Structure 1
Amino acid sequence: MISLRHIATGLVVAIVGFFGTFPIVIQGLSAVGASPSQASAGLMASAMAMGLAAIGLSLFYRMPISVAWSTPGAALLAVSVAPQGGFSTAIGAFIVAGVLTLAAGLVRPLGRAAAAIPANLAQAMLAGVLLPICLVPFSALPQLPYFIGPIIGAWIVGALVHKLAAVPAALIMTGILTFLMGDISALDGAALVTLPKWTLPTFSLTAAISIGVPLFIVTMATQNVPGIAILRSYGYTPPPAALLTTVGAGSIIAAPFGVFSICVAAITSALCANEDSDPDPERRYMSAVMGGVFYCLFGLCAGVLTAFAAAVPALVFGALAGLAVLNVMAGALRAALIDDHGREAAVLTIAVTASGMSFAGIGAAVWGLLAGLLFFGLLTIRAGLTKP
């Protein structure tokens, strides 16, 4: 039976999961070649995919399993170069990432291999991806102080109230400033309900290596594995293979509609699984179900949100995206640098990834991870040789 507490928790989950990070999703899809209508449809399809997956998994296992889009994955896309072939080739890379996730659930050695990548290096790659994005609000501030300054101020005030209130506060301020100073004519004709848009995928080895593989690794290391761990910490033990195969298959099916990746959520799973959701642990799954319902409802309005993004200068939305992932950046840096062993390798990974370098058609995220793994291996060998 659904209670008001389940509905309230589900609404909070959807607000945090959707409105807290949708700017980076739009920016990420646009960076890999999506047109405004494709980005809008991709945002809608992503919200629908994660909402339906959360509803299905939670009802089937009767556990509070929240599903999200991969915010780190969206950040990775935001700093990627659009592949040759445009958005259809990016969609092919999304499918590759989904296949790898599906395989990680079905083929245990592959899942173990993905999990064997040192966590600090995976987090370092994420930090390197996020660093240029997080700099945008402050590099853009001198150019648009009257617009970006109040948004940063609202983010700070919201963060002082609660860290989950920071991005919604910045979004509210952006909305106010848009109606006061933005080009609201961009909202004219925006469809209230967003319709799906199918794009025929094309496949490229370069795009698979530069986009698909890093998307799989960063989502696996920063979303799927922590999400499953969060559920276990609250006493829920869903089969990891089933969760990975579900989000992997869902990502593959939804990719032609612009969905880059869905995954097991960490933060929103914790919101659903704690006692504030319901005093009875066996009934908390309904909060995740309601969160999925609200995700679907929010997704239907994606066209209006995309038009809203077009109503402000591009730097404003870039700044908003940077603020949206600052907390993620903080967590990634902490996890990357907390361990003395391999700290230098983590810093090398961050530096190479943040450089934005591209060589042989392969992007900086892959080179950063490879450089970090090589240096980490050499450090481990040295430590073994110098043991008394």
Structure 2
Amino acid sequence: MKPEKTPMQWQDWSVSAVVAGFVAVLVGFASSVAIVFQAASAAGADQAVTASWIAVLGFAMGITCIGFSWYFKAPVLTAWSTPGAALLASSLTDVSLAEAVGVFMFSAVLTLLLGLSGWFDKLSSRIPLPIAAAMLAGILFKFGLAIFISLPDAPVLVLTMLGVFLAAKRWWPRYAVPLVLMAGLLFASVTGQLQLNQVSLTLVEPVWISPEWSWQALLGVGLPLFLVTMTSQNIPGLAVLKASGYQLPVSPLLSWTGLVTLLTAPLGNFSINLAAITAAICSGPEAHSDPAKRYTAGIAAGVFYLLTGLAGATVVALFAAFPKALVATVAGVALLGTIASNLAQVSAESPHRDAAMLTFLVTASGLSFWGIASPFWGLVAGVVTLVLLNWRRG
């Protein structure tokens, strides 16, 4: 599906698309905001600076989600680099806050240059669709499992949400995820599991930190940050778009995320990139039955991200008040359709099936070498298998 440069129509909007955008932001924040706090703490950031980080990340993701989704008419979502945040949390202890900003800017410049060069576009176009689908299925598989992993901790809540999901899929399939979210929030509120007493409205004031440069920090932290973000975030993010049928020029997306990160790094944006998991929530059939109208889910996510930027501390506290089992179940049911469609491509009879299956297994395993996460190694396993099988047949 190529992007269509047509005006946005209000008829394209639906409740399911707006809820998909909200769920994407909920999952994105709830699943990894603690890692961002750890990264800020490692850099020596106080509460005001940490709040600024959350605010500018929200604004950066909001603007790019809205801009990309509106322009390309596709659900293009961005996210902060969670592996990058984990890397920073363990690498910034001996780096000053100003030098950390220099690291962010260095990584952003590398991303911008890679996007402008067009190399990433050429490389990504050579990845067969079953391999991309297998990597995506491996990434999302744990979210489907998380429903049942969380079941022992909150059995009534999870079973109630699953019951609502099955009933909605039978009679109101378009509104299945919104109804599951509403049922979960209602049940958690009635049973006292929704802890809102610590939530108060607080607007964030951005804090500017001028960069300083240390070649040791640039090579020791900045270069790994760039590599981890490329391999663990942008490649899976591209796989989501490709597996969902959206054929978009990758280089402009990469260039703009690099540029936005570069301009906002002094305020605390350490890295934004193409999203994978949250994008899958907005690009599946639960977001909208018509793939051409799912871009509205991306725009909705961008609006919710802007709200998180406006009141970052408040929104973080709100998301933290949701029971973990509720978040896990909503994310899992929102991704079931996407997981199923990608697994169908993995198991379909084709010359790529063996390579795709290995890609899926390695990615789902969660293995990591040298700080590089399993999606990259799954892709390597699939490509190597494909090359060897083709060489043998030749």
Using structure 1 for the length normalisation, give the TM-score. Answer: 0.70
Task: Give how far 1:359 is off.
Answer: 3.1
Distance in 1 (CA, whole Å) between partners of 2:316 and 2:302 is 21
**Equivalent of 1:22 in 18, 25, 42:** 25
Cα pair distance change 1:226/1:347, threshold 3 Å: closer
Q: Residue 86 of structure 2 aligns to which amino acid in structure 1?
A: A
The answer to whether the 8 Å contact 2:22/2:304 transfers is no
Contact 1:214–1:365 under 8 Å retained in 2: yes
The code of the aligned residue for 2:353 comes to: R
Q: How far did residue 368 of structure 1 move?
A: 1.9
**How far is 1:150 from its partner?**
1.3
Query: 1:48 is matched with which residue: 51, 55, 59?
Result: 59
Unaligned runs of 5+ in 1: 231-238, 278-284
Distance 1:372 1:357 in 2: 15
Aligned residue in 2 for 1:375: 385
Question: Structure 1: how far apart are the matches of 2:178 and 2:208?
Answer: 30
The answer for the alignment partner of 2:374 in structure 1 is 364
1:68 maps to 77
Match of 2:272 in 1: 260
How does 1:107-186 map onto structure 2 within 5 Å? 107-160=117-170, 165-186=175-196
1:217 aligns with 2:220: no
| Matched-pair contact (CA < 8 Å) for 1:44–1:300 | yes
- Give the whole-Å Cα distance in 1 for the aligned partners of 2:192 and 2:250: 46
Counterpart Cα distance in 2 of 1:7 and 1:276: 13
SS of residue paired to 1:261: strand
Partner of 1:325, secondary structure, is helix
**Gap regions ≥5 residues in structure 2:** 1-7, 41-46, 94-99, 212-216
Compared with structure 1, are the counterparts of its residues 8 and 170 closer, same or farther at alpha carbon in structure 2 (3 Å cutoff)? same
Q: Distance in 2 between matches of 1:382 and 1:113?
A: 23
The one-letter amino acid paired with 1:20 is V
1:326 aligns with 2:350: no
Change (3 A) 1:12 1:291: farther
Partner of 1:83: 87
State the 1:362 CA deviation.
3.2
Q: In the superposition, relative to structure 1, how do residues 108 and 92 fare at CA in structure 2: closer, same or farther (>3 Å)?
A: same
For 2:21, give the aligned amino acid. F
Cα distance, 1:137 vs. partner?
0.7
| Equivalent residues of 1:101, 1:248 under 8 A apart | yes
Q: Note the alpha carbon deviations across 1:127-184, whole angstroms, 9 max, x for none.
A: 1122122101112213311111112223334444565533322221222122112344
- Paired residues of 1:45 and 1:299 also in contact (CA < 8 A): yes
Distance 1:176 1:254 in 2: 38
Q: 1:215 to 1:259 in 2, by over 3 A?
A: same
**In structure 2, how many angstroms separate the alpha carbons of the residues matched to 1:357 and 1:206?**
18
Where 2:367 maps in the other structure, the secondary structure is coil
Q: Is the 8 A contact 1:7 1:290 kept in 2?
A: no
Cα offsets for 1:10-54 (capped at 9, x unmatched): 575861452132232024423645359899877765553354346
**Cα contact 1:68–1:263 (8 A) shared by 2:** yes
Q: Is the Cα contact below 8 Å between 2:168 and 2:179 reproduced in 1? A: yes
The answer (yes or no) to whether the contact 1:51–1:295 under 8 Å persists in 2 is yes
How has the CA–CA distance of structure 1 residues 29 and 197 changed in structure 2, closer, same or farther, with 3 Å as cutoff? farther
CA contact (8 A) 1:186 1:310 kept: no
User: Is contact 2:69-2:299 (8 Å) kept?
Assistant: yes
Moved more, 136-145 or 291-300: 291-300
Identity of aligned residues (%): 27
The 8 Å contact of residues 167 and 324 in structure 1, kept in 2 or not, is answered as: yes
